[in-house]
Amino acid sequence: MLEFNHYSVMLKESVDFIAPRKNGIYVDCTLGGGGHSLEILKRMGDSGRLIAVDRDEDAIRAASERLKNYKNITYIHDNYENIGEYIKDISKIDGAVMDLGVSSFQLDTAERGFSYMKTAPLDMRMNQTASKSAYDVVNGYTHGELCSILKRYGEEKQAKRIADRIVRAREDKPIETTTELAEIIKNAVGNSYDDKHPAKRTFQAIRIEVNDELGAIPKAIDSLVEKLSSGGVIAIISFHSLEDRIVKETLKKYEDGCTCPSGFPVCVCGFKKQLEILTRKPMLPSVCELEENSRSQSAKLRAARKIMEV
Ligand SMILES: C[S@@+](CC[C@H](N)C(=O)[O-])C[C@H]1O[C@@H](n2cnc3c(N)ncnc32)[C@H](O)[C@@H]1O
């Protein structure tokens, strides 16, 4: 059996928001090790239904083994940006959870190539069947493209210096492994990051680019909000400021409703207010959780409730 270790972040808090009930239909967009799914399944009982998505085949395999005693779960191996396709024939869903980013399993499995601490081929694909890998980004992107993703997705202040070194290094031979890349970054920026590994931001940026992580979030939220029943809640856990900003802005769009300029006498856009935000400020992990799991440090939980049916 696949050893899939993942500590589910803000598990109780997020599932409390959703408050699964008997007969309900729920969606877990990020199945991972199945932690959030298991909690939803336990609370909704045999009569409900859970749709669980992950783009990582290993996650689907490990979670379906862990959850094998539950028959009312449907597994979908796909990007959650396509969730709308899978729920289009269901009249309503009663709640949804998204626990964004990578799992500890993905980070800790050296050969997946996510970690700058462990030597492995440059991969970082969440979906192992996807065509673009970190190798393609590192060895194939122009200097300008590298600079741009490091700035945009890594918020890396030394993007140009790192891109310079990557481009120079690959003139001799392609950059093949995670630790080779980490070493190039370290040589480019030295120890100018007191508390963080100098490769952390670059690896985050490349991972986001390889998996188009940010583009999928609003698409999934749009599809889920459209199908949420009145009173249904969507709960989303993010792990860095780029994700959190997208979550916040997308939920706010549904709280604001009408997008007409303020001077318009009547609404012509027809966009209705659909969500009530339940977390004015994002909820953070408890002190206990922070002590138990250092990876929860950057977690932020936002939740919103559907207020009307459209
Ligand atoms: C933080 S883990 C989820 C852990 C899970 N909630 C648990 O308790 O075990 C995130 C998971 O989401 C998956 N994932 C990330 N982006 C995705 C996307 N766009 N579509 C589908 N799955 C995605 C990853 O493959 C990973 O398994």
Q: Please check the confidence at residue 287 and state whether its pLDDT lies above 90.
A: yes
User: Domains plus CATH for the chain?
Assistant: 11-105+214-306 (3.40.50.150), 128-211 (1.10.150.170)
Q: How far is CA 147 from the centre of its chain?
A: 23
Give the ligand 1 atom nearest the CA of 54: 22
Backbone angles phi, psi at 201, to 5 degrees: -70, -40
Q: What is the pLDDT of residues 102-116, one digit of tens each?
A: 998 898 899 999 999
Rounded to the nearest whole angstrom, what is the distance from the C-alpha of residue 248 to the centroid of ligand 1? Answer: 19
With cut-offs at 50, 70 and 90, classify the pLDDT of residue 167: very high
Contacts of 185 (CB under 8 A, 6+ apart): 116, 162, 165, 198, 199, 202
The separation between CA 112 and the C-alpha centre of its own chain, rounded to angstroms, equals 17
Atom of ligand 1 nearest to the CA of 32: 27
28-51 pLDDT tens trace: 999 999 999 999 999 998 999 999
Q: Is the pLDDT of residue 262 over 70?
A: yes
Atom of ligand 1 nearest to the CA of 97: 6
CA 134 to ligand 1 center in whole angstroms? 18
Q: Whose CA is nearest to atom 27 of ligand 1?
A: 32
Q: Residue 310: is its pLDDT beyond 90?
A: no
List the residue whose alpha carbon is closest to atom 8 of ligand 1: 35
What is the 66 CA–ligand 1 centroid distance (Å)? 16
**pLDDT at 274 exceeding the cut of 90:** yes
Verify whether ligand 1 is closer than 6 Å to residue 56 (CB atom).
yes
Residue 10, classed as helix, strand or coil, is coil
- Does residue 53's CB lie within 6 angstroms of at least one atom of ligand 1? yes
Dihedral angle sign, alpha carbons of residues 55, 236, 208, 259: positive
Coil/strand/helix, residue 230: strand
Nearest CA to ligand 1 atom 16: 101
Mean pLDDT score of the chain: 94
Nearest CA to ligand 1 atom 9: 33
Q: Ligand 1 in contact with 207 (CB < 6 A)?
A: no
Nearest ligand 1 atom to alpha carbon 28: 6
The answer to whether the Cα torsion of 274, 279, 281, 283 is positive or negative is negative
The per-residue pLDDT for 290 is 94
Model confidence, pTM:
0.94
Contact 213, 207 (CB under 8 A): yes
DSSP code per residue over 81-145: GGHHHHHTTSS-EEEEEEE-S--HHHHH-GGG---SSS--BS---SSTT-S--HHHHHHHS-HHH
Residue 249 has a pLDDT of 97
Mean pLDDT of 6-23: 94
pLDDT at position 7 is 87
Atom of ligand 1 nearest to the CA of 63: 9
The answer to whether the CB of 97 falls within 8 A of the CB of 39 is no
Kindly tell me if the per-residue pLDDT of 2 is higher than 80: no
Q: Tokens for 72?
A: 């009312």
